């Protein structure tokens, strides 16, 4: 669903030289408006637009900052569609009841998964991508087999060898994989740098890693929210900057 940021929907009537004009964020060209200098209004006041349809058309085209355009420069139409579908899959995850369980289990390969009613933060990412036909279990395992030295080797189980049962469910491994196979984006504290479909990794404190997916809903903070599982099942929460960000990625599947 396309959504426009409400904070961009305010306009202030000012006077430029001798012509009443509307200026939006100090960037739009001046347009005659016929209102007193200094008068302000909200675009939700449709009475203005009924009598000024041309202004409405200009305003919508040039000012409305839609969610899918934010921070998505250089994104193709197919990639934009992929991100839309990923966000839809992540949002749907909140309809599931999942008990947080980080235990090790042997699962089939490829296409394996732990029981649907259990999981951790990485399983939200894995299951969302599976809806789009992307098997992160397979993709991560194959890359680790061929490039093991690029990945952390601190796991006791398997003596540091690839393990298709668990490797894709570890945040540090996903960070390496997304860095190698996806796009690395800024780890800034600027909300506008984060777009729906982006993947964000965190340090919760004490080197405890976490991961979530940016979705196309804004919280009370005015920032996009995160779909994740931090122990209470899949949720969408206004937590983009709640912890130290350690990685920011965009991944479209195998190319």
Q: How far apart are the first and last CA of the chain?
A: 26
Task: Give per-residue pLDDT as tens, 112-148.
Answer: 999 999 999 999 999 999 999 999 999 999 999 999 9
Confidence grade of residue 158 (pLDDT, cut at 50, 70, 90): low
Q: For residue 145, which of 177, 193, 185 has the smallest C-alpha distance?
A: 177
Confidence at residue 159, expressed as pLDDT on a 0 to 100 scale: 63
pLDDT band at 156 (very low <50, low <70, confident <90, very high): low
Which domains are seen in the chain, by residue range? Answer: 6-65 (no CATH), 71-250 (3.90.1720.10)
Tokens of 145: 């087999």
Does the pLDDT at position 46 exceed 60?
no
Q: Which pLDDT value is given to residue 22?
A: 27
Q: pTM, whole model, 2 decimals?
A: 0.74
Tokens of 151: 């990945």
pLDDT in tens, 189-204: 999 999 999 999 999 9
Three-state DSSP class for 78?
A: helix
| Mean pLDDT across 207-214 | 98
Taking residue 247's Cβ as centre, other Cβ atoms within 10 Å add up to 21
Q: Using CB atoms within 10 A of its CB, is residue 189 exposed (0-12), middle (13-18) or buried (19+)?
A: exposed
Which tokens belong to 205? 């404190």
Residue 212 has φ and ψ, to the nearest 5°, of -150, 170
Closest CA to 211 of 236, 250, 245, 176: 245
pLDDT at 127: 99
* 3-class DSSP assignment, residue 185: coil
Beta strand pairing call for 209-218 and 224-228: antiparallel
């Amino acid at each position: 669903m396309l959504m426009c940021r409400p904070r961009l929907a305010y306009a202030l009537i000012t006077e430029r030289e001798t012509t009443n004009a509307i200026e939006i964020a100090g960037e739009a060209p001046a347009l005659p408006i016929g209102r007193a200098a200094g008068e302000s209004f909200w675009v939700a006041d449709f009475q203005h637009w009924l009598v000024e349809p041309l202004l409405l058309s200009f305003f919508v085209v040039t000012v409305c900052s839609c969610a899918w355009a934010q921070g998505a420069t250089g994104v193709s139409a197919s990639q934009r569609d992929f991100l839309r579908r990923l966000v839809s899959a992540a949002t749907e995850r909140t309809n599931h009841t999942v008990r947080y369980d980080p235990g090790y289990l042997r699962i089939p390969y490829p296409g394996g998964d732990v029981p649907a009613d259990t999981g951790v933060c990485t399983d939200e990412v894995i299951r969302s991508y599976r809806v789009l036909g992307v098997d992160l279990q397979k993709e991560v395992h194959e890359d680790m087999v061929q490039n093991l030295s690029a990945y952390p080797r601190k796991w006791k189980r398997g003596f540091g060898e690839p393990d298709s049962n668990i490797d894709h469910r570890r945040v540090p491994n996903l960070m390496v994989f997304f860095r190698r196979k996806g796009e690395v984006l800024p780890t800034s504290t600027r909300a506008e740098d984060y777009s729906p479909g982006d993947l964000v990794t965190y340090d919760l404190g004490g080197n405890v890693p976490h991961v979530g997916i940016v979705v196309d809903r804004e919280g009370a903070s005015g920032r996009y929210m995160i779909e994740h599982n931090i122990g209470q099942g899949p949720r969408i929460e206004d937590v983009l900057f709640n912890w130290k960000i350690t990685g920011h990625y965009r991944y479209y599947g195998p190319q």
